[in-house]
Amino acid sequence: MGAKWFKIAVVYFVIGIILGIVMGIIHDFALTPVHAHINLLGWVSMALFGAIYHFYPQAGETGLAKTHFWLHNIGVPLMQGGLAYTVLTENESLTIVIIIASLAVVLGGILFAVNLFRNV
Ligand code: HEM
Ligand code: HEM
């Protein structure tokens, strides 16, 4: 479970820093919240999940860990993809997707916390 999180985290890191440098080069900061959350919910949070599951492998084998994995990994790209679309097109039709995806990430985070208290 640890290695899976690390590999996904580093993909978000590369996307996040490329977006950051592009924002800097073209002087357009509209996607700052997307850049921030790709780096923080993608790279930083996922690397921390990976480290915790690596040091406490018993916590990584639970149903809670698997549900957290899928909620976070479906939620974050839909949330950030929806947010990027909304910012770039100024079309708010995907707001409901952003809301549901955010709630999935929040629920995943709560399950992660429960798992941590039970199995770490
Ligand atoms: C080469 C790598 C990076 C570049 C070129 C870059 C570039 C930028 C730029 C241009 C902004 C917008 C600043 C503004 O609106 O005034 C920004 C904001 C931000 N970046 Fe990065 N960034 C990089 C890496 C990272 C990483 C690794 C993280 C997190 C781990 C991060 C977190 C943030 C956050 C949280 C903000 C929003 C700050 C705020 O609320 O004012 N960035 N970054
Ligand atoms: C489901 C989880 C999350 C949701 C729904 C969420 C939501 C938001 C919202 C609505 C904003 C304001 C955006 C704006 O004013 O443009 C924001 C900003 C921010 N959030 Fe989150 N957030 C989440 C998770 C996190 C996490 C885990 C971190 C750090 C580890 C974080 C760090 C930040 C930072 C640094 C900003 C300021 C970024 C900027 O200047 O654009 N967020 N977040």
62-115 tens-digit pLDDT: 999 999 999 999 999 999 999 999 999 999 999 999 999 999 999 999 999 999
Relative to the alpha carbon of 45, which ligand is closest? Answer: 2
Going by C-alpha positions, the residue among 46, 80, 70, 62 that lies closest to residue 116 is 62
C-alpha to C-alpha distance for 69 and 74, rounded to whole angstroms: 8
pLDDT at 87: 98
pLDDT at 38: 98
Instruction: Please state the atom number of ligand 2 nearest to the C-alpha of residue 103.
Output: 1
**Pocket of ligand 2 contains residue 33 by CB under 6 Å:** yes
Classify residue 65 by burial, with Cβ atoms within 10 Å: 0-12, 13-18, 19+.
Answer: buried
pLDDT at 110: 98
Q: What angle do CA 89, 90, 92 make, to 5 degrees?
A: 110
Residue 32, both tokens = 């700052």
pLDDT at 3: 95
C-alpha to C-alpha distance for 94 and 86, rounded to whole angstroms: 7
For residue range 20-75, list pLDDT tens digits in order.
999 999 999 999 999 999 999 999 999 999 999 999 999 999 999 999 999 999 99
Give the CB-side neighbour count of residue 99, counting CA atoms within 13 A. 5
